[in-house]
């Protein structure tokens, strides 16, 4: 933690982070990708730190038979309770999915706030959202989560009624009312969101008419997307060693090596077990991903977890109906190579050159140090070259048309005739070609023999 001279924020809350390790071999209740539990624990600590919690302890807890009432066994519950008291813990983070009942029972047993993985991620998103759309989306996801938990609580109570007699906690009427209130708020939020989105769609349509190709950076949280974004566009988007530093997408212009402009987007990071409420809520924001001409999957290639993280990212892309599977051009930027030993860097570079059929092309880079940037940009330019080459004959006073072609196309060859006329061979995508013909009907354009 960095020292702050004046700090007006409320006192820091202390936390204990627990990652249950299920003996069935699966890391958590819903994860598909096997991971080293220690790395999962590190990630959970990172998430808790992203909420500015002061971590007083982090531990793997073996789970042989998960208890429906408290997840952990009786002895463990008592032991953790002891430790929470001894360390003056305010929040216990359980890096797993807790049922509402488990959450409530644990809170009672430990007399602290208990938060599970989904709750933690929702909380982080809630704090980070800056734009109106981002805030509405997170709020919607949170209400959805709360509503589903109320429903679960309620059905649970239904089942229990008669058997156990007096249950503490909210009664059925209260829950019904809460649920109706939530449903009303969800409906209202959805209306507000659709208004905001309509405006954004109009803005985007206006942008889309510009024939600039679009490139979008996606990847696991903390992979270095914003750092790469800043390097490529000379911007200063916040890039920090913090999970979910970026939430709202940012778009900037970028110049490809051949001088053509493109639009680059930085996006929210993905994470394993990303709450489905959030994927749903962010679906519209992430439309940029589905509409991109090229997707760059930024990977922390130096991280021990890199393959599992890549799997998680591909899974979220599939949920968004985006990525290579969906027919989009996708390349990988293998970031943070500076963190590898020189021999390992060489191995990686060799591996990137020999990607097998069906594997995405890979570009080893260091967004922080700058290595590999020109290769990456060149790779992008090549992939964006979907346009057909055409020949344009411009007379000496067609300066405007020529400037337009330089701006929107890729000039392949240029021949200056004696009379001042210029013959350009230029690559233009279909949309740009149509625009050029409308704007400059007198310029002579024909398909070029390549």
Ligand X SMILES: Nc1nc2c(ncn2[C@@H]2O[C@H](COP(=O)(O)OP(=O)(O)OP(=O)(O)O)[C@@H](O)[C@H]2O)c(=O)[nH]1
CB of 368 vs ligand X, minimal distance in Å: 3
Q: Is 267 in the site for Mg ion (CB under 5 A)?
A: no
Tell me how crowded residue 291 is: count the other CB atoms within 10 A of its CB.
14
CB of 216 vs ligand X, minimal distance in Å: 13
The three-class DSSP label of residue 208 is helix
Q: Which does 219 bind (CB under 5 to 8 A by kind): Mg ion, ligand X, none?
A: ligand X
CB of 239 vs Mg ion, minimal distance in Å: 6
CB of 223 vs ligand X, minimal distance in Å: 4
Strand partners, 271: none
Choice between 150 and 281, CB closer to ligand X: 281
Specify whether the backbone of 234 is left (phi greater than 0), alpha (psi in -120 to 50) or beta: left
Contact region with ligand X (CB under 6 A), list: 7-15, 222-230, 306-314, 322-330:
222-230
CA pair distance 360, 347, nearest whole angstrom: 17
Q: Is 35 in the site for ligand X (CB under 6 A)?
A: no
Contact pick of 149, 366, 398, 433 for ligand X (by CB under 6 A): 366
The three-class DSSP label of residue 120 is helix
Contact pick of 28, 105, 221, 309 for ligand X (by CB under 6 A): 221
Instruction: Give the Å distances, CA to CA, from 126 to 7, 248, 384, 422, 437.
Output: 21, 12, 36, 56, 48
Q: Is 222 in the site for ligand X (CB under 6 A)?
A: yes
Residues 6+ apart with CB under 8 A from 95: 17, 18, 19, 20, 28, 40, 41, 43, 44, 47, 116, 117, 120
The three-class DSSP label of residue 26 is coil
Choice between 179 and 283, CB closer to ligand X: 283
Tell me how crowded residue 19 is: count the other CB atoms within 10 A of its CB.
25
Contact pick of 70, 103, 105, 246 for Mg ion (by CB under 5 A): 246
Instruction: List strand residue ranges (DSSP E) for 30-136, in order.
Output: 54-63, 91-94, 113-116
Instruction: Give the Å distances, CA to CA, from 166 to 53, 99, 188, 407.
Output: 36, 21, 35, 74
Q: Is 226 in the site for Mg ion (CB under 5 A)?
A: yes
**Cβ pair 382, 363 in contact under 8 A:** no
Structure tokens at 244: 């979910």
Give the x/- contact pattern for ligand X in 240-279, rule: CB under 6 A.
Answer: xx-xxxx----------------------x----------
**Cβ pair 98, 24 in contact under 8 A:** no
Choice between 189 and 377, CB closer to ligand X: 377
| Binding positions for ligand X, 303-342, rule CB under 6 A | 335-336, 338-339
Q: Is 98 in the site for ligand X (CB under 6 A)?
A: no
Choice between 225 and 336, CB closer to Mg ion: 225
Give residue number: closest CB to Mg ion: 246
Contact region with ligand X (CB under 6 A), list: 143-151, 179-187, 235-243, 439-447:
235-243
Structure tokens at 431: 């949309």
The closest alpha carbon to 447, from 40, 435, 150, 433, belongs to 433
Instruction: List strand residue ranges (DSSP E) for 205-244, in order.
Output: 214-219
CB of 338 vs ligand X, minimal distance in Å: 5
CB of 226 vs Mg ion, minimal distance in Å: 3
Contact region with ligand X (CB under 6 A), list: 14-22, 142-150, 203-211, 367-375:
367-375
Give the x/- contact pattern for Mg ion in 371-410, rule: CB under 5 A.
Answer: ----------------------------------------
Give the x/- contact pattern for ligand X in 160-199, rule: CB under 6 A.
Answer: ----------------------------------------
CA pair distance 102, 237, nearest whole angstrom: 40
Interface positions with ligand X (CB under 6 A): 219, 221-227, 239-241, 243-246, 269, 335-336, 338-339, 366-369
């Amino acid at each position: 933690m960095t020292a702050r001279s004046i700090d007006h924020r409320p006192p820091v809350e202390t936390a204990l982070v627990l990652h249950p390790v299920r003996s069935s071999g699966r890391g958590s209740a819903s994860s598909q990708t096997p991971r080293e539990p220690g790395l999962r624990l590190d990630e959970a600590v990172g998430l808790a730190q992203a909420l500015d919690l002061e971590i007083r302890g982090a531990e793997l807890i073996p789970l042989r038979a998960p208890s429906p009432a408290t997840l952990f066994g009786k002895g463990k519950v008592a032991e953790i309770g002891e430790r929470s008291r001894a360390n003056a813990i305010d929040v216990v983070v359980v890096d797993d999915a807790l049922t509402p009942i488990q959450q409530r029972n644990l809170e009672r047993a430990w007399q602290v706030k208990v938060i599970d993985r989904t709750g933690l991620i929702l909380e982080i998103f809630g704090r980070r959202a800056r734009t109106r759309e981002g805030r509405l989306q997170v709020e919607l996801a949170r209400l959805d989560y709360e509503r589903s938990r109320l429903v679960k609580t309620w059905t649970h109570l239904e089942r229990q009624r008669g058997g156990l007699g007096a249950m503490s906690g909210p009664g059925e009427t209260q829950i019904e009312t809460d649920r109706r209130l939530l449903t009303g708020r969800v409906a209202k939020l959805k209306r507000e969101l659709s208004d905001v989105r309509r405006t954004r769609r109009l803005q985007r349509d206006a942008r889309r008419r510009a024939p600039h190709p679009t490139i979008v950076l996606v990847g696991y949280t903390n992979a270095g997307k914003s750092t790469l974004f800043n390097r490529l566009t000379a911007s200063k988007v916040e890039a920090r060693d913090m999970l979910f530093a970026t939430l709202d997408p940012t778009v900037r212009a970028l110049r490809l090596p051949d001088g053509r402009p493109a639009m680059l987007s930085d996006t929210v990071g993905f994470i394993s077990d990303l709450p489905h409420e959030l994927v749903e809520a962010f679906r519209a924001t992430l439309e940029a991903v589905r509409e991109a001409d090229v997707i760059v999957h930024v990977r922390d290639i130096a991280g021990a977890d890199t393959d599992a993280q890549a799997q998680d990212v591909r899974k979220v892309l599939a949920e968004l109906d985006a990525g290579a599977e969906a027919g989009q051009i996708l390349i990988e930027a293998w970031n943070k190579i500076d963190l590898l030993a020189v021999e390992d860097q060489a191995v990686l570079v060799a591996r990137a050159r020999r990607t097998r059929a069906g594997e995405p092309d890979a570009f080893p880079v260091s967004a922080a140090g700058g290595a590999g940037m020109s290769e990456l940009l060149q790779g992008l330019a090549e992939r964006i070259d979907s346009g057909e080459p055409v020949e344009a004959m411009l007379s000496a006073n067609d300066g405007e048309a020529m400037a337009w072609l330089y701006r929107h196309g890729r000039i392949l060859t240029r021949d200056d005739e004696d009379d001042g006329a210029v013959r350009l061979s230029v690559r233009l995508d279909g949309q740009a070609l149509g625009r050029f013909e409308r704007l400059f009907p007198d310029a002579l354009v024909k398909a070029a023999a390549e």
